[in-house]
Structure 1
Amino acid sequence: MDEQASDPTNDLADDQDGEDRRYKAPALEKGLDILELLADATDPLPLAAIADQLDRSRGELHRMVQVLQFRGYIDHDVGSEGYRLTDRLFALGMRQPRTRNLVELALPVMRQLVQDSGESCHLAFHSRGEMVVVARVESGEQVGFSVRVGYRRPIPSTASGVVLYAFQAEEVRRRWEGLFAPKLGKDALAAFRTRADAVRAHQVELTQSPLVSSVTDISAPIMRGGAAAAALTVPYLERREPVHSAENVALMLVAATTTIAAQLVQSDERL
């Protein structure tokens, strides 16, 4: 029997892998390691803790930390003598044309939704296993509830998060699950998946806020390319004499997300 001939494409791939391994950027990798570590940290970390967790010496990280601070990617916390991540990376991401375009299209519709419903609303994206609020419009009512821009929570713990997760392809869902912090146990993950499937079937989520007992979070997806690009959420504040019921506000919300999604399609076709 003749020996199997080698595949030249495989040989080429091996050569390319070798090239990839030869081209290293140690300084860049150290900087990225610091940013990723601080992104996952709940409290500011001093240089010694950063060095210990990255298994590097303080001397080799000192200059890198100083440069990252100078460029505005991390900041020094005076009270704890530690370093924390700033929102500069987030701001850079928001400058991407598709992201900026979505927010610009959403804001006028969000203002109309607030005017019609009497409730505030906010727009949230996915970021590293969390939902992050990128825009908000506050209600003009004397009493209301709103969420600040930059607010972050784990995907499984918010209405915005479950909506973002619910309207993703299966492989995207699994990738996001790997980013959840804290990790969900087997039973909790199964329950979360079931909840997400129910949200997908109903096209909207109504659930009591995990933070405020008098608030019902109402959330719906803004679809783009068959997946949720963002979640639009109304924190519905229960009042003695409500202007609208939560169910009516949910209908307004779904109409708003449908309008934004349609505008996105038109905008993308022009690009």
Structure 2
Amino acid sequence: MSDENQEAPADRYRAPALDKGLDILEVLADQARGLTRAEIVKAMGLSPSQIYRMLERLVARGYVTRIEGGDRYALTMRLYLLATRHPPLRRLVAQAQPLMDDFARDLRQSCHLVVPEQGTGIVVAQASPTGHWEFRARIGGQVGLFTTGSGLALLAFQKPERILQTLGLWGVSSAERQLRAVAAHLATVREQGARVEPSGQLVGVTDLSVPVFGPGDEAIAVLTCAYIEHPEVQRDESREHALAALKRLSAELSGPDAAI
């Protein structure tokens, strides 16, 4: 077998210039204040001449901008705007947002909507209560599929017999070991119809996560309320009330006409 035939699929059709451009975008995505050209060069391990033209083209096309007098480069909102043009996602968010706002106002709890994307869950909508404090999940933030309430709920409400195939479509490969580690938990979540567990990220917060079902009776998204106790309200009664309201919200978004 020739060396060409032995190449991995990801390396078979290489486009070095495109790879450099995507690498620049990925490096800048983690930097709130941007980076200087020298810092970008260092992070990528390339010479200045290898990235100069690509960086200038990204500026010209509006994906990157110069800040602080032109010494630093940062991402613009163009990538976000392109992502939110995707019609099914836009429909889902447009349908969900007013319902989520009602939930947040009535229950005095925040909630957010997560969809699977490129091996993670992505927060695509968020609603906050109208009081003077709030818990906010950042829109565009990534959540782990195997380490967060939203991610585990997404996994729990997939058809078990084809979950590996589904994960492959989401950009996750070789997940057998991870699935075995959480299999019993996923089965319990499916049986209960929701995931109600202490948050793995915030002490004193309980994650309430319910699925939004698509036409194939699998979760296309998850609604999560990071439930915070109010001292003047009885804990169990209030949490059950919030979970019931979250399930009603999910039911309005689910079904054969669900977006995505």
CA 1:77–1:190 in structure 2 vs 1: closer, same or farther (change >3 Å)?
A: farther
Partner of residue 132 from structure 1, selected from 105, 110, 122: 122
1:170 correspondence with 2:164: yes
The residue correspondences of 1:120-269 to structure 2 (distance < 5 A) are 120-168=110-158, 169-174=163-168, 176=170, 178=172, 186=177, 190-226=180-216, 227-242=218-233, 244-262=237-255, 265-266=256-257
**1: CA distance, partners of 2:257 / 2:179:** 37
CA RMSD of aligned residues (A): 3.7
Does the Cα contact within 8 Å between 1:76 and 1:82 map onto a contact in 2? Answer: yes
Does the Cα contact within 8 Å between 1:122 and 1:133 map onto a contact in 2? Answer: yes
Q: Which runs of 5+ in 1 are unaligned?
A: 1-13, 15-20
Letter in 1 for 2:121: M
TM-score by length of 1: 0.71
Structure index of larger Rg:
1
Q: Which moved more, 1:229-238 or 1:219-228?
A: 219-228
| Bigger share in helix | 1
**2: CA distance, partners of 1:153 / 1:82:** 29
Percent of matched pairs sharing the same residue: 34
**1: CA distance, partners of 2:19 / 2:145:** 28
What does the per-residue CA deviation read over 1:149-194, in whole Å, with 9 as the maximum and x for residues that have no partner?
23333222221121223333331225657479xxx995x6532344
- Report the CA distance between 1:55 and its aligned residue: 6.3
Q: Which moved more, 1:40-49 or 1:196-205?
A: 40-49
The residue aligned with 2:58 is 68
The residue aligned with 2:102 is 112
Does the Cα contact within 8 Å between 2:213 and 2:258 map onto a contact in 1? Answer: no
The residue correspondences of 1:33-44 to structure 2 (distance < 5 A) are 33-36=23-26
Q: Which moved more, 1:250-259 or 1:139-148?
A: 139-148
TM-score by length of 2: 0.73
Does the Cα contact within 8 Å between 1:209 and 1:216 map onto a contact in 2? Answer: yes
**2: CA distance, partners of 1:189 / 1:82:** 42
- Report the CA distance between 1:143 and its aligned residue: 4.7
Where 1:114 maps in the other structure, the secondary structure is: helix
Does the Cα contact within 8 Å between 2:92 and 2:258 map onto a contact in 1? Answer: no
Count of matched residue positions in the alignment of Structure 1 and Structure 2? 240
**1: CA distance, partners of 2:77 / 2:172:** 23
Letter in 2 for 1:27: A
Partner of residue 79 from structure 2, selected from 89, 103, 120: 89
